[in-house]
Amino acid sequence: MFKKKPAIKPLAPLRSSEKRKVADKIIEQYKIQVPSDDEAASNADASAQSTSTTPSLSAIRASLLPEGTVAGRFETTVGPKLKPLRGTIYAGTFPGEEERVLWFRLEQGPGADDRFYPTVYTLWRHPGLTPLLHTPAMVMEKLYNGADLMTPGLAGGPPFPKGATAGAIVAVASTDKPSVPTFVGVCEIDVSSLGEVYGQRGHAVKGLQWEGDEIWSWGPPGKSGVPAPDHINGWFDESQGLSLEVDEVIEGDLKNLSLEDNAAQPVEEATLDEEPVQDERVDIPEPTTQEIDKAFVRAFLYYIHKQMKSHPQSPTHDISFPILPTTLISTILTPYIPLRTAEEAQYYNIKKTSWKTVKKFIKHLHKQKLVQSKDRNGGETVIMDIDFSHPLVKEFVPYKIPKIQPREDPQSQVATDAQEPSTYQQSTGSATEQTLNIKIVYKPVQKLTPDLFPPLSSTDRRNYYTSSDISKRLNDYLAAQEPPVVSKSNPRLITLNPFIANNILSSSRREDAQFLSRGAIFRDVLLKRLISDATLLVPHYAIIKPGQAFEDVKLKAGLGPKITVMLQRRMGNKVVTKVTGFEPFGIDASSLAEELQKKCASSSTTNKMTKDTMEVLVQGDQRKIVQQALTGRGVKAQWLEVIDKTQKKKAGAS
């Protein structure tokens, strides 16, 4: 709600009577326990002998509204139609801290209810003031951009807090910091009664205030907001052993957090390394047709989700079109169906679905406007395109894919080697094994602010956005335009306005000239145009090594480095394999050369190329062994570039 800066009128100190009145309303609203008259008298009598552990009413009031609290009216706009919203903010200074906004009240406009809402600063000082919900770190990043918390994004339950009923004020914390709420909102559904979030849709919590918004930033001149602490006692009882399991890791952002053993490790890594699910020979209840249908659709969404994360810079996210029916089943669907036992594989067959055939399944996806399909000669139906901005894609929340112990019967084996393709680990027994990730983010140029992006400093880490962040901001911008630019008959079609025509498109580009002449462009084409143009969004990358967080890694310009594996002829007809560019991935030249010498049974050497770069040479065409050694060190195939210079040029070639 405070994503953009509100207009705040001059603040004035609260009179003592007014401050008591406001504090008493807060105490009543949040049902804060206060001592009775008898308890207060008893505490007063005992104060001369010992310090009472029960706070007095005046102490509770002072903790909610500190001495010197000021108040002032504010005005802002909300919603796509920018409806005005007015209210009051209450700012004060907690002991030992700076002056910050502690409470706000919505009094006139959409959502006005005259209740007192705490800011994150108040929540950090008053554990347990509201029910506390949790969400994965990746989802929290979306909340910081102004999104509401969707039901599939809830973590740590069921059961959920009893107080998280419809209309209740709640706090939300990331699973990375489960005891530190950084988001304040209102439940739009009865979260406490949810039996599961798997397969659910819709909004769960409407966001009002969060770490990073304009209310959080308000404070003394020249000072920004105060970052959240790493831990707060009282919000989250670690002795309860609550397990906040997150079923997906996106470039190091999501963690499988188990507070019982106090360990945090990426879920993909845990999924591959955990004890295999024992294939006990018990009767497995056959799933219903509806459950099988749901599993197939979610498997398709999971594949899209993975590709969008692994290849954000590619317009098609490295998906090759057309997608044939055989490819759809073997490569896209099968690896992402969460089978708990090998026996379940017999049920999750396309013939067990309501569609019965792959062709009808593709037609169903086409009808949902998730894909564009085409019937080829001979009756084969293929997928020609995917709508990456479809609501089902954007709202999809990954789930855990268990590793299954294969049975001896080859027909009942389940393909497990493709379950988590974004993190590669090879069991070579080498001590050099590690898991690497490259995260690509984009920094907008000045002409895109403040329409699409807030005007932040170039050194501000929040000024770098993932492709999904950019998609969200573009959709928010398009939805907020007056007059509307989104076609009512076809939401993918966008009418050009001056900002899009002048700041994103260019008449000097041939493709853009066609859109400018038509006065319209497709939403997905506009997004691809925005992300692919380095003059609009400057790409940066971070190589995240084990034990590192994205925030701790220095960003570098570009789409990420590549390791070059080059085959050359030297000293007549001898072939050598040269490896360069491995330093950014934390690979030691001597260690790599020693490993290649053993595996290739050939001599290997290291040479210094520049001050900070080395090359490793090994005799013979060893490209495959080199690739295996590098992937065993966490380097993915897409980060390798193989160049063969041993091929002789054809006669007559210039």
| ω into 546 cis (within 30 of 0) | no
Residue-level pLDDT at 535: 92
307 CB-contact burial (10 Å; exposed 0-12 / middle 13-18 / buried 19+) = buried
Q: Tokens for 283?
A: 């009767």
Residue-level pLDDT at 315: 81
Q: At 597, which amino acid appears?
A: Q
Separation of alpha carbons 342 and 568, rounded Å: 47
Separation of alpha carbons 322 and 326, rounded Å: 12
Separation of alpha carbons 375 and 381, rounded Å: 4
Residue-level pLDDT at 253: 32
- For the chain, what's the residue count? 654
Residue-level pLDDT at 365: 94
Buried b (16+ CB within 10 A) or exposed e, 239-250: eeebebebbbbb
Give the residue extent of every domain in the chain. Answer: 1-118, 134-274, 289-412, 439-540+550-556, 562-644
Domain 439-540+550-556 sits in CATH at 1.10.245
pTM reported for the whole predicted model: 0.41
Q: At 145, which amino acid appears?
A: N
Residue-level pLDDT at 540: 94
What topology does CATH give the domain 134-274? 2.30.130
Return the closest-CA partner of residue 388 out of 507, 472, 296: 472
CATH of 562-644, one of 3.30.1490.20, 3.90.25.10, 3.40.50.10070, 3.30.780.10: 3.30.780.10
Residue-level pLDDT at 637: 84
Residue recorded with tokens 């210094």: 608
Residues of the chain with pLDDT under 70: 36-54, 198-199, 222, 236-285, 340-343, 377-378, 402-434, 648-654
